[in-house]
């Protein structure tokens, strides 16, 4: 018998509405992966506003030489909380949220493998975020930077409770991430629809799957380090205190053995999103499925062998530095392969410039720039010259914003119709895109120059040296433009949720299974599904119907 779309029953129970009180209780106690996914996304958006506000305050302070709007203490707390928030409370929850929502749908499953673990993962993530930010009210936020180098993070240098909140908050969100990763692995292994071998996984699922192993290996390292820091601070141990026999370098090893894989943890799901978006809007099959999937594994393995490139200036010695420099440059190869695959997918395709696709294209350009400055950093003498300058700040933001954040935007514009049953406005989307793109490059491009001219990072003000004032001013104007772009985006979301054009099942004509469920999907996504034969199941079913 040929499988047919019409064969597939769609259980018609809709998600409960937030409008009734019962609805609210239902959401807060939900174990449904779609409701949890949506709450992850709101969490990410909420903390993006918090982290964005912190960034704007910093940029205001830095807008001109020798301003004194915020003192140095407040500034230290702001850059620490900003970086920590963006990494752990914005990018992680948003990516995990998208995966929580879409991974089961894309493999034709009705739920995650462990629905209650799924709920726990969300709620401890929120609890951790709350704890971290509670520090503001409890005597002062952490102030030793998002990587909290010891001994700066120890009691005798940072005596507010901020770093205790940092340790506990991140331990708790870390447990959430580990729970989510475990769930993704087991769900992918056990709950795929018939016919979907590992070689036919949608690339987003594939990359989340590989990524989950990274999370499972990396986060326990961070949590171990954080527990030791907490014990140092609260119980008077001295793991990281050189003055009494500990090792400050040990903290750096713990942190970066987690921290370097973490930057890939934030990149890989984004690569997955881009690998879904580009073929759909180019009307072409993805070029090189095998190399795209295989290079992911290569990146994941390599990412654990390069952490000491964050420590070139720490005095590990030339043999160690050379080893880690070589490893770091190697990782450019599988990443470059991916970029070639994405471009080859668009080549000769009928490219449709939806907002989602525009963000995908901007991702390719700006992430490549971030990658190139990364390769520059891997050259030890260059690192020695520009480490701890604004060059690092430029690099970080090209990878995190030009990389991950752009893929998140691409994913939201792509999947919003599925989640909400309505389309986002493309007109507002284009405003969001162009303003954000321009603002982003204005903010961070010239910071490469500032770094090369020697402006150190994490300073609350700077002297009026040639170019410093004007370049910093451009940077602040760019940041304000991003702020306006975000307001447009948020308006677009709220407006479209209520008044957007109704979306049908598959508004983009995509081929993966999530587009087979109704928009929004009902509480039990599919019921029974016919087996799939390739990684483009909907296309196969379409053709079967014609024959």
User: Is residue 407 a contact partner of residue 356, using CB atoms and an 8 Å limit?
Assistant: no
Break the chain down into helix, strand, coil percent, rounded to 5: 70, 0, 30
- Write out the two tokens for 153: 């993070």
Q: Determine the interface stretch with Cu ion among 138-146, 254-262, 269-277, 420-428 (rule: CB under 5 A).
A: 254-262
| CB proximity list for 77: less than 8 A, separation 6 or greater | 136, 140, 141, 142, 143, 162
Task: Identify what 260 binds: Cu ion, ligand HEM, none; CB under 5 to 8 Å per kind.
Answer: Cu ion
Per-residue HEC secondary structure of 404-460 comes to HHHHHHHHHHHHHHHHHCECCCHHHHHHHHHHHHHHHHHHHHHHHHHHHCCCECCCC
Interacting stretch for Cu ion, rule CB under 5 A, among 81-89, 138-146, 201-209, 252-260? 252-260
Helical residues (DSSP H) of 240-317, grouped into ranges: 248-265, 268-282, 289-303
Nearer to Cu ion, 269 or 371 (CB): 371
Q: How far is the CB of 389 from Cu ion (least distance, A)?
A: 17
Q: Does 132 bind ligand HEM (CB under 6 A)?
A: no
Pick between residue 260 and residue 516 the one whose CB is nearest to Cu ion.
260
Interacting span for ligand HEM (CB under 6 A) from 252-260, 356-364, 389-397, 527-535? 389-397
Is residue 435 near ligand HEM by the rule CB under 6 A?
no
Confirm or reject binding of residue 412 to ligand HEM (CB under 6 A): no
Task: Give the interface size with Cu ion as a residue count (CB under 5 A).
Answer: 1
Residue 95 binds which entry of Cu ion, ligand HEM, none, CB below 5-8 Å type-dependent: none
Q: How far is the CB of 347 from ligand HEM (least distance, A)?
A: 31
The CB-nearest residue to Cu ion is 260
* Residue closer to Cu ion (CB basis): 295 or 519: 295
C-beta of residue 212 within 8 angstroms of C-beta of residue 181: yes
Q: Which residue has the tokens 């690998």?
A: 275
Asked if 171 is part of the footprint of ligand HEM (rule: CB under 6 A), the reply reads no
- Integer CA distances (angstroms), 99 to 195, 276, 336, in order: 21, 13, 24
- Rounded distance between C-alpha atoms, residue 357 and residue 279, angstroms: 10
Is residue 405 a contact residue for ligand HEM (CB under 6 A)?
yes
Q: Site map for ligand HEM, 445-484, x if CB under 6 A?
A: ------------xx--------------------x--x--
Q: Which of 36, 63, 86, 205 binds ligand HEM (CB under 6 A)?
A: 86
Could you give the CA distance from residue 321 to residue 7 in angstroms, rounded to a whole number? Answer: 60
By CB under 6 A, name the one of 32, 40, 81, 82 that touches ligand HEM.
82
In this structure, the number of other CB atoms found within 10 A of the CB of residue 72 comes to: 13
* Nearest-angstrom CA–CA distance, 237 and 228: 8
| Binding of Cu ion by 260 (CB under 5 A) | yes
- Contact segment (CB under 6 A) with ligand HEM among 52-60, 106-114, 203-211, 248-256 equals 52-60
Length of the chain as a residue count? 547
With binding defined as CB under 5 A, does residue 192 bind Cu ion? no
Among residues 200 and 310, whose Cβ is nearest to ligand HEM? 310
The single-letter DSSP state of residue 502 is: B
State how far the Cα of 203 lies from the Cα of 205, in Å rounded to an integer.
5
Q: Is 388 left (phi over 0), alpha (psi -120 to 50) or beta?
A: left
What CA–CA distance (Å, rounded) separates 8 from 516? 9
Binding partner selected for residue 52 from Cu ion, ligand HEM, none, CB under the kind-specific 5 to 8 Å limit: ligand HEM
Nearer to ligand HEM, 115 or 145 (CB): 145
Does residue number 253 form part of the binding site for Cu ion (CB under 5 A)?
Answer: no
Among 400, 414, 508, 541, binds ligand HEM (CB under 6 A): 400
**Binding residue for ligand HEM, selected from 3, 35, 38, 59, defined by CB under 6 A:** 59
Q: Which is nearer to ligand HEM, 14 or 454 (CB)?
A: 454
**Of the two residues 209 and 377, which places its CB atom closer to ligand HEM in the complex?**
377
Single residue of 396, 424, 510, 532 touching ligand HEM by CB under 6 A: 396
Pick the closest to residue 265 from 313, 315, 299 (CA basis): 299
Q: Report if residue 395 touches Cu ion, rule: CB under 5 A.
A: no
**187 closest CA partner among 2, 36, 407:** 36
CB of 83 to ligand HEM, least distance (A): 3
Q: How far is CA 180 from CA 98, 129, 131, 176, 337, in A?
A: 12, 16, 20, 6, 29
Separation between Cα atoms, residue 510 and residue 513, nearest integer Å:
9
Closest CB to ligand HEM: residue number: 83
Report the interface residues with Cu ion, using CB under 5 A: 260
Report the interface residues with ligand HEM, using CB under 6 A: 52, 55, 58-59, 79, 82-83, 86-87, 91, 145-146, 393, 396-397, 400-401, 405, 443, 457-458, 479, 482
């Amino acid at each position: 018998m040929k499988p047919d779309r019409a064969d597939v029953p769609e259980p018609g129970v809709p998600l409960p509405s937030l409008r009734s009180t019962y609805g609210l209780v239902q959401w807060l106690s939900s174990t449904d992966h779609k409701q949890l996914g949506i709450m992850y996304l709101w969490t990410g958006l909420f903390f993006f506003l918090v982290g964005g506000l912190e960034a704007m305050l910093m940029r205001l302070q830095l807008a001109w030489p020798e301003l004194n709007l915020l003192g140095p203490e407040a500034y230290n707390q702001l850059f620490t909380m900003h970086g920590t928030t963006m990494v752990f409370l914005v990018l992680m929850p948003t990516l995990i949220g998208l995966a929580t929502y879409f991974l089961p749908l894309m493999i034709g499953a009705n739920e995650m493998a462990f629905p209650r673990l799924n709920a726990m993962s969300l709620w401890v993530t929120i609890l951790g975020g709350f704890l971290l930010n509670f520090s503001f009210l409890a005597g002062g936020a952490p102030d030793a930077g998002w990587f909290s180098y010891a001994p700066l993070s120890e009691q005798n240098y940072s005596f507010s409770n901020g770093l205790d909140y940092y340790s506990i908050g991140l331990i708790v969100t870390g447990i959430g991430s580990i729970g989510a990763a475990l769930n993704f692995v087991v769900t992918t292994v056990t709950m795929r629809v018939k016919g979907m071998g590992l070689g036919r996984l949608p690339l987003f699922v594939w990359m989340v799957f590989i990524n989950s192993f990274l999370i499972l290996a990396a986060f326990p390292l961070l949590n171990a380090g954080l527990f030791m820091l907490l014990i140092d601070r609260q119980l008077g141990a001295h793991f990281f205190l050189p003055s009494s026999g500990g090792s400050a370098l040990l903290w750096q090893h713990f942190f970066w053995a987690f921290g370097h894989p973490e930057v890939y943890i934030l990149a890989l799901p984004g690569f997955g999103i881009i690998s879904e978006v580009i073929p759909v809007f180019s009307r072409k099959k993805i070029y090189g499925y095998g190399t795209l999937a295989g290079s992911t594994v290569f990146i994941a393995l390599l990412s654990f062998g390069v952490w000491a490139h964050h420590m070139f200036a720490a005095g590990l010695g030339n043999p160690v530095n050379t080893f880690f420099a070589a490893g770091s440059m190697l990782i450019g190869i599988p990443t470059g392969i991916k970029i070639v695959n994405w471009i080859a997918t668009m080549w000769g395709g009928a490219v449709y410039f939806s907002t989602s696709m525009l963000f995908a294209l901007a991702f390719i350009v700006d992430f490549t720039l971030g990658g190139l400055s990364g390769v520059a950093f891997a050259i030890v003498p260059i690192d020695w010259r520009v480490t701890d300058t604004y060059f690092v700040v430029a690099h970080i933001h090209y990878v995190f914003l030009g990389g991950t954040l752009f893929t998140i935007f691409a994913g939201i514009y792509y999947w919003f119709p599925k989640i909400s049953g309505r389309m986002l406005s493309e007109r507002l989307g284009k405003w969001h895109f162009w303003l954000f793109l321009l603002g982003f490059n204005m903010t961070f491009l010239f910071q490469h120059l500032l770094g090369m001219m020697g402006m150190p990072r994490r300073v609350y003000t700077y002297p009026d040296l040639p170019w410093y004032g004007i370049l910093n001013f451009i940077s602040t104007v760019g940041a304000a433009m991003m702020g306006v772009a975000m307001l447009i985006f948020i308006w677009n979301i709220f407006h479209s949720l209520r008044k957007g054009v109704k979306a049908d099942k598959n508004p983009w004509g995509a081929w993966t299974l999530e587009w087979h469920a109704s928009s929004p999907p009902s509480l039990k996504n599919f019921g029974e599904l016919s087996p799939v034969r390739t990684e483009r199941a909907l296309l196969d079913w379409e053709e079967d119907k014609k024959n």
